[in-house]
Amino acid sequence: MPATKLTKSSSTPRLSESPILGESTEAFCGDIRRHFNFTLGRDKNCKSAHYAYTALALAVRDRLMECWRNTQSAYESADSRKTYYLSLEFLLGRALSNAILNLGVEGPLGTALTELGVDLEELVACEQDAGLGNGGLGRLAACFIDSCATLQLPVMGYGLRYEYGMFRQNVENGFQVEEPDHWLRNGHVWELERPELTLRIRFGGRVEHYSEQDRRRRVRWTDTHDVLAVPYDVPIPGYRNGTVNTLRLWKAAATDEFDLNEFNAGDYAESVRAKNLAENITMVLYPNDASENGKELRLRQQYFLASASLQDVLRNWVLKHGQDFTEFAAKNSFQLNDTHPSIAVAELMRLLIDEHDLSWDQAWAITNQTMAYTNHTLLPEALERWPVRLFEQMLPRLLEIIYEINANFLGEVANRWPGDLDRLARMSLIEEGYQKQVRMAYLAIVGSYSVNGVAELHSNLLMQGLFRDFYELWPERFNNKTNGITPRRWLASCNPGLNALITEAIGDGWVTDLGQLSRLRDFAEDRAFRERWRKVKQENKDRLIDFKRRELGLEVDRFSMFDVQVKRIHEYKRQLLNILHVIHLYDRIKRGDAGSDWTPRCVIFGGKAAPGYAMAKLIIKLINNVATVVNRDPALKDLLRVAFLPNYRVSAMEVICPGTDLSEQISTAGKEASGTGNMKFMMNGALTIGTLDGANIEIRREVGAENFFLFGLTAEEVEATRAYYDPTSIIEGNDDLKRVMNLLETGYFNQYEPGIFEPVVHSVRSAYDPWMTAADFASYVLAQQQAAAAYRDQDDWTRMSILNTAASGQFSTDRTISEYNRDIWRLRPIPARAAL
């Protein structure tokens, strides 16, 4: 048993006295060899790069361990305020390069690897992406914890350790085919299991109310089916500052007595089934981005994360402070990453009242001063609602608490707006109707002291639209925190060429103070510098070509404009608009309208569709069919190429964004909450073609309208146009679009698959098309022509490229996290320090 004491003698064991590890070439050589030979038990006959990778990763991890314990002991002794970031997703990608960069050991380690005769890049590629997220929301969580560590903030991430992460995407005959991502198969060297910190999570059962001698009413939640939560800790290193924070991921495991009871009853098979049911909770990540799940198992995951994380925090509190919670709210806060973990509001109430004996009012005061909620989407289908009936069965005690929160809350609303029954119904946490539902976003708002959106436009639309009633009640709760990305992964590490050039020009302070990139503005006027910048971009494009050749076998003109749209496939993101434009370019070439001033393009798509999202999958098929027709036509060689890169993921983006010329950010205005892909491209010197949506607005403001290709309706115009939207007459009035639709409608791209694209045609022609694709076609084509013309002047394009990187300083998560900390968390940075 893990809890067994190490020694019975009264003397303190000296096991924990840590040796100091060197960071010299010799020290690394020795440690990598030792791990290869002894930890892993390999020898000269082992040809698999995987073991060399593991040995290297373990040697790097050893160095993180020292900083990790120093950081934790500094937090421990400071006893300061802390924040816990609760997220169902952390899209981490690979860890090795990031750890080497942040530790600052590239020099000696590089020499060591040369001596050992191994290639770093090859080993780096051995690491499986940790794909514990769908897209932007999960990647944001990963960038956030990187910045928290770099800013030395005492922030801990809490998430789930899914056995299967985001599915692997194959393309067969143009169709997406999903394969399970068993990312743990070859082990995960970065995690540390902490079985001694296992907790118990309850499900089902029933609630008993009773009174004790002191006549206080008490609650017992009994006959539950319990599941164990086992923590696995992942180190999150700050940038060269000795700090290593913790990401704690929970794995579900069956309880022992559960098995035993069934076993005694003689039903072995039943006991194994029960075990599987328990362990199912963290088996798989739900692969839906920005859309509702409605599945029982998903609610189980949400409660499992919330309960385990809160119990963990409360256990530590009680160890230090006993049952005295007077200081708890001053010392702790929880940031909820979207509504997914919002059951934490009710769970904290339950734990404080039922397990720690606080009164309702005391518990509510604490909850309401510690919970903070981030909203990530305006799409109504993504606002989670759970059937009351499901709550009754799975979490009966939580439902009671939600009802009481609602009763108190509606009392407050009635008090403020007497007689306004419509408002009460609108704002209630319970949606009445055929099937009563709990509105999880409202639970999060009512339970939190801060509610934020993720870009200026998005936060404004929340206050004026979706959450207007709540904004009228509590305007002071609402605020904006524009998203960002970590410049360590998304510039310093993924773009070594640009890193070196920028550092030569302005020093290396930008890595932790990204605003310093603005000093590149002067260099944009320097012709020699522009030439070097262009060369780096070309090298990055060549790297991307290699990647494409490996993945697709596709040959492309290395000087053509790399026009890229990679992100989840969703109708609101309008990959469809992009492919309609590609068809238009094809049509122009075929009708002889590609003159000598034609700008050759390679249009690259990538992204996964939710497995149940038929229209998104059909759009992938359309892109692939168009690519087949375009790429095999000799008349188009060197004028137009189209590629769909399968299995888009973090490690793919690290090659894609440095090699991109033109970044496609073309969502229907008012639909993309922020976007972060847009920031990665900009930081790496791509120009953006985009709508006034999400953070595009702020990107354009920072870089200047003259360095951004704008098109399309505004969010206001989109809403104003809806009532009389008439795509058929738009198509009739635009010869280019008419010809494109004609090619689609005559089955030009699906000659052996009759009718398959009818749903696509229908969606563009529908007066109820929520994404208004036809409405923006003409202005999109115009903006594309401006981009093509601009690209012909390579020197001026390069100037604009430099200006984009120079203006990207705002979009560092260091800035975002500083704002969270200033306005919401109010943490004091705590430097790590060596143990005494």
What are the catalytic residues? Answer: 376, 567-568, 573, 676, 680
| Secondary element (H or E) of residue 682 | helix 677-683
Residues 6+ apart with CB under 8 A from 199: 228, 229, 307, 308, 311, 312, 315
- Least distance (Å) between residue 489 CB and ligand PLP: 9
The window from 42-50, 240-248, 324-332, 669-677 that contacts ligand PLP (CB under 6 A) reads 669-677
Contact flag: residue 685 with ligand PLP (CB under 6 A): no
Question: Which residues, listed in sequence order, are joined to residue 85 by a DSSP beta bridge?
Answer: 157, 335
Name the packing angle between helices 106-116 and 25-34 (round to 10°).
50
Tokens 């950010």 locate to: 665
3-state secondary structure of 323: coil
User: What does the CA dihedral 593, 594, 599, 604 come to, rounded to 10 degrees?
Assistant: 80
Token digits for 364? 């509510």
In the range 139-168, which residues lie near ligand PLP by CB under 6 A?
Answer: 139
Pair type for strands 687-690 and 662-665: parallel
Closest CA to 653 of 145, 83, 142: 142
Chosen residue from 135, 487, 600, 606 binding ligand PLP by CB under 6 A? 135
By the rule CB under 6 A, 671 interacts with ligand PLP: no
Amino acid at 288: N
Name which of 154 and 607 has its Cβ closer to ligand PLP: 607
Instruction: Work out how close the CB of 546 gets to ligand PLP at its nearest, in angstroms, rounded to a whole number.
Output: 20
Tokens describing residue 642:
């189209």
Out of 130, 136, 397, 601, name the contact with ligand PLP by CB under 6 A.
136
572 vs 598, which CB is nearer to ligand PLP?
572
> Is the CB of 397 or the CB of 649 nearer to ligand PLP?
649
Read off the tokens for 168: 């692997």
CB of 405 vs ligand PLP, minimal distance in Å = 34
Smallest distance from ligand PLP to CB 549, Å: 21
Q: CB of 143: closest distance to ligand PLP in angstroms?
A: 9
Closer Cβ to ligand PLP, 255 or 804, answer by number: 804
Beta carbons within 8 Å of 147's beta carbon, 6+ residues apart: 484, 486, 812, 813, 814, 816, 817
Residue with Cβ nearer ligand PLP (400 or 814): 814
- Kindly tell me which residue out of 413, 653, 666, 697 binds ligand PLP, with binding defined by CB under 6 A: 653
Closer residue to ligand PLP in complex, CB, 568/700: 568
| Binding range to ligand PLP, per CB under 6 A, among 229-237, 349-357, 646-654, 821-829 | 646-654
Pairing of strands 155-160, 82-86: parallel
Q: How many Å apart are CA 450 and CA 370, to the nearest integer?
A: 9
Bridge partners of 203? 225
Indicate whether 606 belongs to the interface with ligand PLP (CB under 6 A). no
User: Going edge to edge, which strands form the sheet with 430-431?
Assistant: 385-387, 437-439, 430-431
Q: Closer to ligand PLP at the Cβ: 399 or 673?
A: 673
Which span (425-433, 532-540, 670-678, 803-811) binds ligand PLP, by CB under 6 A? Answer: 670-678
- Choose the stretch contacting ligand PLP; rule: CB under 6 A; options: 54-62, 131-139, 167-175, 636-644: 131-139
Determine the distance from the C-alpha atom of residue 432 to the mean position of all C-alpha atoms in its chain, rounded to a whole number. Answer: 33
* Residue 659 makes contact with ligand PLP by CB under 6 A: no
CB of 722 to ligand PLP, least distance (A): 24
675 binds ligand PLP (CB under 6 A): yes
The stretch among 427-435, 505-513, 673-681, 792-800 that binds ligand PLP (CB under 6 A) is 673-681
The residues, ordered by sequence, that sit 6+ positions from 780 with a Cβ below 8 Å of its Cβ are 577, 581, 666, 689, 711, 712
User: What span, in angstroms and rounded, lies between the C-alpha atoms of 425 and 420?
Assistant: 9
| Coil vs helix vs strand at 548 | helix
CB of 673 to ligand PLP, least distance (A): 9
* Closer residue to ligand PLP in complex, CB, 198/674: 674
Q: Which of 650, 697, 781, 803 binds ligand PLP (CB under 6 A)?
A: 650
Q: Kindly identify the residues of this chain, within the stretch 538-567, that bind ligand PLP according to CB under 6 A.
A: 567
From 133-141, 199-207, 408-416, 542-550, give the range in contact with ligand PLP by CB under 6 A.
133-141
Instruction: Tell me the two tokens of residue 503.
Output: 């550092």
Q: Nearest distance from residue 341's CB to ligand PLP, in Å?
A: 20
Does 760 participate in binding ligand PLP (rule CB under 6 A)?
no
Helices (H) and strands (E) in the chain, counts: 34, 25
How far, rounded to the nearest angstrom, does the alpha carbon of residue 488 sit from its chain's CA centroid? 16
- Helix crossing, 96-103 with 106-116: angle to 10°? 130
Distance CA 413, CA 728 (A): 46
**649 lies in the site for ligand PLP, by CB under 6 A:** yes
**Binding positions for ligand PLP, 479-538, rule CB under 6 A:** none
CA distances from 681 to 491, 576, 805 (A): 10, 21, 9
Nearer to ligand PLP, 135 or 809 (CB): 135
Among the listed residues 341, 487, 677, 809, the single contact to ligand PLP using CB under 6 A = 677
DSSP 672: -
Nearer to ligand PLP, 439 or 567 (CB): 567
Helix (H, G, I), strand (E, B) or coil at 819: helix
Residue 676 touches ligand PLP, criterion: CB under 6 A: yes
Q: Interface with ligand PLP by CB under 6 A: which range of 132-140, 291-299, 328-336, 351-359?
A: 132-140
- What tokens does 490 get? 């998304």
Measured CA to CA, the distance from residue 607 to residue 620 in angstroms comes to: 9
Question: Judged by CB under 6 A, does residue 205 bind ligand PLP?
Answer: no
Q: Is 94 in the site for ligand PLP (CB under 6 A)?
A: no
Q: Which is nearer to ligand PLP, 140 or 441 (CB)?
A: 140
Residue 22: how many CB atoms within 10 A of its CB?
A: 13
CB of 560 to ligand PLP, least distance (A): 22
Looking at 524-648, list the stretches that DSSP marks H as alpha helix, in order from N- to C-terminal side: 527-552, 575-590, 614-631
User: CB of 680: closest distance to ligand PLP in angstroms?
Assistant: 6
Residue nearest to ligand PLP (CB): 677
Nearer Cβ to ligand PLP (439/489)? 489
CB 371 within 8 A of CB 344: yes
Spatial distance between the Cα atoms of 202 and 590, rounded to a whole number of angstroms: 65
Work out how close the CB of 161 gets to ligand PLP at its nearest, in angstroms, rounded to a whole number: 19
Q: How many residues bind ligand PLP (CB under 6 A)?
A: 12
Q: How far is the CB of 32 from ligand PLP (least distance, A)?
A: 30
Tokens of 222: 């009994």
Residues in contact with ligand PLP by the rule CB under 6 A: 135-136, 139, 567-568, 649-650, 653, 675-677, 680
